[in-house]
Amino acid sequence: MREAYIVQSVRTPGCKQKKGQFKETRPEELLSFIMKSAVERTQGLKPEHLEDVMCGCAFPEAEQGLNIGRVANQMAGFPEKVSGATVNRFCASGLEAIALASARVQMGWSDLTLGAGVESMTFVPMGGNIPRPHPEYSRTNAEMYVSMGVTAENVANRYNVSREDQDKFGAESQAKAARARDNGLFKEIVPTPAYKYVKQDNGTYKKEEFTVSHDDGIRQSTPEQLGKLRPVFAADGSVTAGNSSQTTDGAAATIIASKEKCDELGLKPVARLVGYTTVGCKSDEMGVGPRYAIPKILEQTGLAKEDIDIYEINEAFASQALYSIREIGIADMMDRINIHGGAIALGHPLGCTGAKLTATCLANLEEVGGKYGIVSMCMGGGMGAAAVFERI
């Protein structure tokens, strides 16, 4: 099997659903921009060198339907010969896309590919526009369709994750993200054009462009302040807006090339995908996915948890992230976990998250001079995913 090297990995900022700076920017615009930027930032690379694009999207319909992996790459100005596909593994869609793009290179099917992720939760809401669970199956297996917030309450109750610990975790995520933003540590972010429609004197609307440079959902708070928020999913629950991920709009892109193509074009490898795995778990506690996926990927790659320099574990909810961290046995390594904050502060743009966290993981490995990083998340329906990346 051939080596597949990552030569670029970048993301847009993440902006709040319906209230953020991307609320009038379509997903194809975000995705085409970040894909084009990834190519432009890679010395020696031109669009005509690309062969295929794999794009993750959790709800590939409406504005982000019609195979956005192909539509956006054409909007980016890539040649017609560049094919594209859209893949859906819910919250791991972007990571799945990078794994599939890497596998194409490893198998010799392509020499240069792009793995991406996109989600506009403003344009396509959680659950899609017209969710239609199977009528008979949903009567006997309702947990397959249960709200992810309810599953977070289940994790907190079943595994004794206290409200206080969840709020502390949420406040720390915000504080880390604010420090990173203020110190310019989100090196993976590309300032991104956004659009707004401004009403003119004649009653028509003009599309105006402006630039977004930072994640717009970061809001510093204390555990005590978060403790005053009401539960969202259960009257006597512990899961609140302050210890849950933000619904977000964003896109990210990673370019993968064979060793031969790197040598031919003079491309500089920055990392490689060492291994990727997925695993199923109970649907009504889907958040525990990383607790199973991370040990599985460590066994697959022959690494120990102490070998990992950076952990990017998606903070869908503080309850599930804390439980997973504790069960894996890395609670004493918090200085390696989400070092610049996680989804509670930065957002969880569903199908984009895996691609977004890959860009963040590689940037953070560079910052700390580390060798191995893990990206992991839970997924709706009861699954976990994890990937190991090695910094070159």
Q: Which residues participate in catalysis according to the annotation?
A: 91, 348, 378
Token digits for 333?
Answer: 């390594």
Instruction: Give how far Cα 38 sits from Cα of 46, 76, 293, Å.
Output: 10, 11, 29
Whole-angstrom distance, CA of residue 60 vs CA of residue 38: 22
The CA-based angle 352-43-70, given to 5 degrees, is 40
CA dihedral of residues 343, 230, 156, 222 (deg, nearest 10): 50
- Phi and psi at residue 193, to the nearest 5°: -70, 135
3-class secondary-structure state, position 133: coil
Token digits for 340?
Answer: 């610049």
Whole-angstrom distance, CA of residue 3 vs CA of residue 98: 14
Q: Which helix (H) or strand (E) holds 286?
A: none
| DSSP labels, 155-197 | HHHHTT--HHHHHHHHHHHHHHHHHHHHTT--TTB--EEEEEE
Token digits for 110?
Answer: 């392509």
E strand residue ranges, 27-160: 52-56, 83-87, 112-120
* Residue in the block written with tokens 């804390």: 322
**Side chain identity, residue 85:** A
Asked if residue 308 lies in contact with residue 336, where contact means CB atoms within 8 angstroms, the answer is: yes
Q: Which helix (H) or strand (E) holds 102?
A: helix 93-106
| DSSP labels, 191-259 | -EEEEEEEE-TTS-EEEEEEEE-S-S------HHHHTTSPPSS-TT----GGGBPPPEEEEEEEEEEEH
DSSP designation for 202: T
Relative to beta strand 383-391, strand 372-379 is antiparallel
3-state helix, strand and coil shares in percent for the chain, rounded to the nearest 5: 40, 25, 35
